Amino acid sequence: SILASYQHTHAHPLTYTLYQKNLSFRLQNPPAITQDVQWRNPDFVTFQEVTSQNRAILTSIQDTHPSQSICDFARVGGVAVASRFPAVPGTATCSETKGLAAIQLQTPDGPVWLVSIHLHWPYPFGQAQHVKQLLPTIETFKGKVILAGDFNMVPWSFALKQIAKTTQTTPAGPLFPTLIKMGAPLPIDHVYAPGGGRASKRDLLGSDHSGVLAEV
């Protein structure tokens, strides 16, 4: 089945963890997400819909995840990345009009780009054009890439296959819904890494999106 095709098998141990979350611009209780991130203590963090109201989450984890890049995007908020690993100087990247924040990090296994993406919804909301604008930026990230975000799209779509091909990454699985919209469960928040990985769902914690915790 389509879902089964995203059950990734692993030839090597999984060594890093990533916490992905669309925070929601309507978030009323930021401390709940802060506590969940601190409890899980991931190596990498990716957020979307970062606003002045919930940005305190990034501030609260700055001691443990000091390498951060935050970028404004749409009215619903910006995108951000954070990590415990030191940043490669001068690599913090912000593309305000493209919904992308990135930074290259020096991990024990060498440099890796950490990228957070928030895509527009598909037709008629301009996702195809958004991806077309994003790809040239993503192509500049040379070497290994780990990216995550609210893609507003399923991983077997043409749009996400383009992104995966450009970054030479595979989605972490299994696949599961992260947003309920008009009664439909939608698997639209994903984590991509060079070798894929194993993903599990985190609670809503005041957001309308479930979080994703991935071992990659």
Q: Six-digit token pair at 203?
A: 């609670």
Model confidence band, residue 7 (pLDDT cutoffs 50, 70, 90): very low
Distance separating alpha carbons of residues 58 and 65, to the nearest angstrom: 8
What pLDDT is stored for residue 12 in this prediction? 54
Could you report the per-residue pLDDT of 137-150, keeping only the tens digit for each?
999 999 999 999 99
Question: How many of the other CB atoms lie within 10 Å of CB of 4?
Answer: 9
Is the peptide bond preceding residue 108 cis, with omega within 30 degrees of 0? no
β-strands 144-150, 110-118: how paired? parallel
Could you report the per-residue pLDDT of 47-82, keeping only the tens digit for each?
999 999 999 999 999 999 999 999 988 778 999 999
| Nearest partner of 118 among 56, 172, 171, 50, judged by Cα | 50
Could you report the per-residue pLDDT of 141-184, keeping only the tens digit for each?
999 999 999 999 999 999 999 999 999 999 999 999 999 988 88
CA distances for 71 relative to 12, 45, 115, 118, 174, angstroms = 34, 14, 11, 11, 29
